Structure 1
């Protein structure tokens, strides 16, 4: 039997142009990471609002295996922040692993 792990929540998202961000991120879960940096792959730029008003998003997956919070493509940070970085919506909690 597999134990469920609690996914980190999106503590704050300051990306006002995202359809999931209305008084906080309202996506059910987000995915972080691209080949180049810790981009929020769930970012959707549209005037339509999406998500569920009664929940706070969680990190469903993280493709940045070079982040110190990442273990087996799962984020282990207690919570993350999403804001403008290299792109419109990046994980600001990303910290590269040191060698």
Structure 2
């Protein structure tokens, strides 16, 4: 039995240093966006080897950023997300992040 889970697509990743990145496409099985008001990509990893391209690109497996308007019970509801350097190379994070209105 094949299981199909709908996730928000990682449309683009502008961090070429990550092992999952090939030509701005993320080939992780799924990514996790970190918690707090700094929505870091917890899946970011560097190594000498790169993962091979797969038939699919990554989705958002979990979002721990409670402050994001797209977070619904730790799942991302944005249609697509963009990952890249945030705050002048301070950290690698979700560029789609939008703080909830208070």
TM-score of the pair, normalised by structure 1: 0.88
1:75 is aligned to 76
CA contact (8 A) 1:27 1:52 kept: no
Q: Which runs of 4+ in 1 moved over 3 A?
A: none
Structure 1 or 2: more strand by fraction? 2
Per the TM alignment, residue 53 of structure 1 is displaced from its structure 2 partner at its CA by 2.3
1:6 is aligned to 6
1:93 is aligned to 96
Per the TM alignment, residue 34 of structure 1 is displaced from its structure 2 partner at its CA by 3.3
What is the Cα-based RMSD across aligned positions, in Å? 1.5
Q: Which runs of 5+ in 2 are unaligned?
A: none
- SS of equivalent to 2:99: coil
CA contact (8 A) 2:37 2:65 kept: no
Aligned residues: 95
